[in-house]
Structure 1
Amino acid sequence: MLTAKQVVQINSGKVAGIATSDGQVVSYKGIPFAAPPVVDLRWKAPQPVKPWEGVKECTSFGASPMQGKPVPFSMWSKEFLIPDEPIGEDCLYLNVWTAAKSSKEKLPVLVWIYGGGFQSGGSGVPIYDGEAMARKGIVFVSINYRVGIFGFLAHPELTKESPNKASGNYGLMDQVAALKWVKENIAAFGGDPANVTIAGQSAGSMSVNCMVATPLAKGLFTKAIAESGANFGRNQPSLAPAEEAGVAFAKSVGAAGLADLRKFSPQELMKGQLGIRGPIIDGYVLPQHIADIFGVGKQNPVDLLTGWNQDEGLLFGPVKNASDFKAQISQQYGDNAGKVLTYYPASDDAEASQSQLNLSRDMIFGFQNYAWANVQAKQGKTKVYVYRFTRKVPGTGEYAKYGAFHTGEVPYAYDNLEFVDRPWEAVDRELEATMSSYWANFVKTGNPNGKDLPEWPIYKPDAKQVMLLGTRVEAKPIPGGEALDTMAAILSATK
């Protein structure tokens, strides 16, 4: 029987975790997987952890990466945000939940990568808790990575000092370092380093896409779960313009160069984050555009479970009336405007409002994961499963209007509805049980199907059968498939 405190030997020393009240799951929170990326290590690839003597108590989350204080906004209540504290640059920690009774069990491993637009987020978010998945026989790992200016600053001086002559993708290098840590250490927690799945949502899903693409992560995982995000839209900058943005950033905070930037406090740096967005095509972590890497089959081979949500269109500005929306489409798409308006019509203001949300959903999220599913399925080397989350998440007051919103599927998929304060109904509990079983089965075997679950067909580009996850769970042709195909053709012709 497990005792309240469990000690595990890893490469850098001994760590102590704490068991649940029933003794079935042990969590280890705040394990360092790299040296603190501060002072001279700010904007450098993650460096090895300095080994420690004795036993390190790992019973609480490490600091979330440097970012603004979490404030609930739009559809995201506090359960979807990082804790109020700690927040800081010394953030390269990960967490492990395991139900293994010994290091010999070789349980499947899931590594969770959070979202937040590459500007925010952290592994301590309540809906990312790993206990429920551990109870399903999975070693659950959640990792931190640097965000914002600390994770993605490119600058000519940084490129010059780098042995790889690249800069800007430090957050992605943190993810690779965490995956290497898992490869080297997860067996001590009863996990199987040869059966690792990476998973993420939004920017975390885009990160998963980057990990599948980068040669630096070769051999570190065999399966991927990508929820609402990828990088097939060709809007990632290359190194040169990213360096220019970095030079402009340095000027905006009054820094003469890199030496000055490394002397500034984190708070001073956060005053000038304009123009620093996220991963770039740096020639090292990402040697080519991701669409090109996948196009020639150079990505790491993985089975893939991917999809997006029905109501996750995000508008960055006021809703346009029908006339203004049609004018925008005409200006943006030229001769193809008529085709676009066929699928995103604007006969009146109400229809135009919904079309703006649908177009936003399809361009920011749907098209990305759809393109990934199609290119990988057509190559035929690995299995692909696609979903559409359609459940209108219950809510009261302001939260009642958001439907199947961006991030809404996460607590269902990881069996964590209990962490979210919403008026859940029986159908939500049923969907949580179904989705978390699909996700757990996929992590274990690369196939989401299992006993007493509706059959989830392998995705084929010609049939376009996807799993609708809502009040009913059923396989159907993908909703809006013609619209996605039309937009893909338009974008392909204009790239």
Structure 2
Amino acid sequence: MALTRVRVKQGEIQGYPAGNQAISVFKGIPYAKPPVGERRWRAPEPAEAWEGVFHAYEFGQIEVQAVRPKNDFYRREFYPFDYPMSEDCLYLNVWTPAENAEEKLPVALWIHGGGMRQGYSNKLETDGEAFAKRGIVYVSLNYRLNIFGFFGHPDLTAEDPFHSSGNYGILDQILALRWIHENITAFGGDPDCVTIFGQSGGGRSVQALIASDLTKGLIHRAIMQSAGGLGNETLDNYSLSDCEKDGIAFFKHFGIKNVAEARRIPALELHDMFIEYSKLHFGRPSRPCVDGYLWKKDFTSLCLDGDYQDLDYMIGTTRDEDGPAPFDLAMVLEEGQRLYPDQLDEFLKIVAYEDPKECEKIMARNRPDSLLAAALSWSEMTARSGKKPSYQYLFTHVVPGEEDSLFAPLPQDKRPGKCFHSSEHMYIQQTFLRSWRPFTGEDFDLSNKMCAYWTNFVKYGNPNEPGLPVWEPYTLENRRVMELSTDPHMIEPPVNDIVAFRRDYPFTRGTKKEE
């Protein structure tokens, strides 16, 4: 029988059998003090000890965030229920198959997505049972999002002992990793075999964690799904100074005098202000900044200089990710100026900027092309580095039920894409029975393979096992990726001109291409 009562640093915890009764689950364990009042916009502090037994029977309250509208595609997929939300949200969950504390099983920490603006650890499609029944201690967590997790200001920087602000959501994740390092043995886990994995905003979080010296010794393997890689903006184009300027502008916009006054604003009211501000300045404040404390320099420079952590890595994307955003020629120019200032002419030529109709066709796949290119850049970088190579995938399987989709009446170019952003979740974590979609035997077969690949990687740093199609690492001699479909196999990645440009740019930035 799996453990149902354990003792951690803060005290004793009572869990209970999961749906699969060979596994136990512990929900809503506090890993930090509530980040409320004077602790708003401060680094998290370890949870206090408790008296008696903590009954870990319910998930903690979710992070403050926008509620998705009833007709939203992703609400139907993953957000059907409106959970209670609170600024007091720093809780984690553990699934374990261990029968005693001496088993030293591999550990996987799942970091949820949502663009660092939304999401929570107990979303419909995520669960630890599939990993746990394969011999892994699975942990998931909530962390501060949007304005609560990623807001900077000069006064916050001044009061911080490390002269940093704006990265509280990542600091939450690091504290959770420290909690795992100190306590996971009680659940039968091995603190020296910890894999972090996440998708979208969670994949960006993984990228942020492997870039920090503060996580050395706490992470041993990492998986970035539909995020991360080189050449994106997660840790490249946003400095502490930028973050502080945004904080000043936010205060000015709402007539807030100082940080003390801002800390007194009720959480839901503050989030409403964030939503209003985001309509004018999308993405700010909801992204980490390069602050000199968590990260010494921008991510691309760090990696190209060989300063990233030499871990086992897996990275990949879905074929379609999200559907095309509304086309705006001015935004194409702005993107080129922001991301490729030294090769702007080359970028504009490749995207046919002078021919708006052709440009719109090319930019229709901007999101999937960008994410694929960033993943390929990452794999190319690890291949060139002499460190461990990466395992890269491309998920191309079309999930069933598209004909019944909420978006079926819409034109195809307005829909999220058949291999949409996050569509791999239920295959990896084997949660089909929670979905409205009519999954079939071939879906379950692919799910078994994908869950095996992921859990093998958590255990060994290698996704392969006898009986599975062989997944080769991406190397200079073998620049191929695993296509995850009903027939998983290695393929040449689908690289067009813009993907090639974005893939190669991190290695050529700072130089002008010869005419």
Taking structure 1 as the reference length, what is the TM-score of the superposition? 0.91
Sequence identity of aligned pairs in percent?
Answer: 37
2:300 counterpart (291, 314, 321): 291
- Separation of aligned partners in 2, 1:132 and 1:354: 40
Please give the secondary structure, in 1, of the residue aligned with 2:121.
Answer: coil
User: Match of 1:59, as an amino acid?
Assistant: Y
Match for residue 454 of structure 2?
439
Match for residue 409 of structure 1?
424
Residue 125 (structure 2) pairs with residue 99 (structure 1): no
With over 3 angstroms needed to count, the CA separation of the structure-2 counterparts of 1:330 and 1:424, relative to structure 1, is closer
Residue 121 (structure 2) pairs with residue 123 (structure 1): yes
Please give the secondary structure, in 2, of the residue aligned with 1:225.
Answer: strand
Match for residue 389 of structure 2?
383
Match for residue 238 of structure 1?
239
Please give the secondary structure, in 1, of the residue aligned with 2:47.
Answer: coil
Identify the range of structure 1 (80-89 vs 281-290) with the bigger mean alpha-carbon deviation.
80-89
Match for residue 364 of structure 2?
357
Deviation per residue, 1:282-331 (Å, 9 max, x gap)? 11112210111111121222110110010014544x247xxx69996998
With over 3 angstroms needed to count, the CA separation of the structure-2 counterparts of 1:201 and 1:482, relative to structure 1, is same
- Separation of aligned partners in 2, 1:422 and 1:206: 28
Task: Give the superposition deviation at 1:74.
Answer: 4.8
Deviation per residue, 1:53-84 (Å, 9 max, x gap)? 10111111101111122435654134423841
Task: Give the superposition deviation at 1:251.
Answer: 2.3
Mapped contact 1:29–1:95 kept (Cα < 8 A) = yes
- Separation of aligned partners in 1, 2:72 and 2:485: 22
Task: Give the superposition deviation at 1:126.
Answer: 1.7
Mapped contact 1:71–1:78 kept (Cα < 8 A) = no
Match for residue 282 of structure 1?
291
- Separation of aligned partners in 2, 1:451 and 1:428: 21
Task: Give the superposition deviation at 1:203.
Answer: 0.9
Deviation per residue, 1:208-255 (Å, 9 max, x gap)? 011111011110011001101116335531011210100111223331
- Separation of aligned partners in 2, 1:126 and 1:449: 28
Mapped contact 2:2–2:97 kept (Cα < 8 A) = no
- Separation of aligned partners in 2, 1:22 and 1:284: 43
Taking structure 2 as the reference length, what is the TM-score of the superposition? 0.88
Task: Give the superposition deviation at 1:392.
Answer: 1.4
Mapped contact 2:2–2:96 kept (Cα < 8 A) = no
With over 3 angstroms needed to count, the CA separation of the structure-2 counterparts of 1:386 and 1:268, relative to structure 1, is same
User: Match of 1:440, as an amino acid?
Assistant: T
Match for residue 255 of structure 1?
256
User: Match of 1:238, as an amino acid?
Assistant: S
Residue 502 (structure 2) pairs with residue 487 (structure 1): yes
- Separation of aligned partners in 2, 1:45 and 1:221: 20
With over 3 angstroms needed to count, the CA separation of the structure-2 counterparts of 1:345 and 1:478, relative to structure 1, is farther
- Separation of aligned partners in 2, 1:389 and 1:242: 35
User: Match of 1:393, as an amino acid?
Assistant: V
Please give the secondary structure, in 2, of the residue aligned with 1:172.
Answer: helix
Please give the secondary structure, in 1, of the residue aligned with 2:197.
Answer: strand
User: Which ranges of structure 1 fall in alignment gaps of 5 or more residues?
Assistant: none
Mapped contact 1:325–1:352 kept (Cα < 8 A) = no
- Separation of aligned partners in 2, 1:216 and 1:330: 32
User: Match of 1:289, as an amino acid?
Assistant: D
Please give the secondary structure, in 1, of the residue aligned with 2:34.
Answer: coil
User: Which ranges of structure 2 fall in alignment gaps of 5 or more residues?
Assistant: 278-283, 338-343, 409-414
- Separation of aligned partners in 2, 1:376 and 1:139: 28
CA RMSD for the aligned pairs?
Answer: 2.5
Residue 44 (structure 2) pairs with residue 33 (structure 1): no
User: Match of 2:441, as an amino acid?
Assistant: A
Q: How many residues align?
A: 484
2:481 counterpart (466, 489, 492): 466
Deviation per residue, 1:356-395 (Å, 9 max, x gap)? 23233222x2222222222122112213100000011222
Identify the range of structure 1 (392-401 vs 428-437) with the bigger mean alpha-carbon deviation.
392-401
Task: Give the superposition deviation at 1:161.
Answer: 0.2
- Separation of aligned partners in 2, 1:26 and 1:214: 32
Mapped contact 1:253–1:271 kept (Cα < 8 A) = no
Identify the range of structure 1 (292-301 vs 95-104) with the bigger mean alpha-carbon deviation.
292-301
With over 3 angstroms needed to count, the CA separation of the structure-2 counterparts of 1:22 and 1:123, relative to structure 1, is closer
With over 3 angstroms needed to count, the CA separation of the structure-2 counterparts of 1:73 and 1:202, relative to structure 1, is farther
Please give the secondary structure, in 2, of the residue aligned with 1:220.
Answer: coil
- Separation of aligned partners in 1, 2:441 and 2:81: 29
Please give the secondary structure, in 1, of the residue aligned with 2:491.
Answer: strand
Task: Give the superposition deviation at 1:269.
Answer: 1.1
With over 3 angstroms needed to count, the CA separation of the structure-2 counterparts of 1:328 and 1:37, relative to structure 1, is closer
Deviation per residue, 1:408-439 (Å, 9 max, x gap)? 01111122222221021222111111111100
- Separation of aligned partners in 2, 1:327 and 1:232: 16
User: Match of 1:339, as an amino acid?
Assistant: I
- Separation of aligned partners in 1, 2:443 and 2:135: 23
Please give the secondary structure, in 2, of the residue aligned with 1:385.
Answer: strand
1:223 counterpart (214, 221, 243): 221
Mapped contact 2:10–2:47 kept (Cα < 8 A) = yes
Residue 399 (structure 2) pairs with residue 393 (structure 1): yes
Residue 346 (structure 2) pairs with residue 311 (structure 1): no
Mapped contact 1:313–1:359 kept (Cα < 8 A) = no
Residue 311 (structure 2) pairs with residue 302 (structure 1): yes
Match for residue 411 of structure 2?
none
With over 3 angstroms needed to count, the CA separation of the structure-2 counterparts of 1:306 and 1:247, relative to structure 1, is same
Identify the range of structure 1 (458-467 vs 24-33) with the bigger mean alpha-carbon deviation.
458-467
Mapped contact 2:231–2:503 kept (Cα < 8 A) = no
With over 3 angstroms needed to count, the CA separation of the structure-2 counterparts of 1:338 and 1:266, relative to structure 1, is same
Task: Give the superposition deviation at 1:141.
Answer: 0.3
Task: Give the superposition deviation at 1:90.
Answer: 0.3
- Separation of aligned partners in 2, 1:446 and 1:486: 30
Match for residue 339 of structure 1?
350
Match for residue 266 of structure 1?
267
- Separation of aligned partners in 2, 1:327 and 1:59: 49
Identify the range of structure 1 (111-120 vs 376-385) with the bigger mean alpha-carbon deviation.
376-385
Mapped contact 2:231–2:505 kept (Cα < 8 A) = no
2:210 counterpart (206, 212, 230): 212
Match for residue 424 of structure 1?
439
With over 3 angstroms needed to count, the CA separation of the structure-2 counterparts of 1:394 and 1:162, relative to structure 1, is same
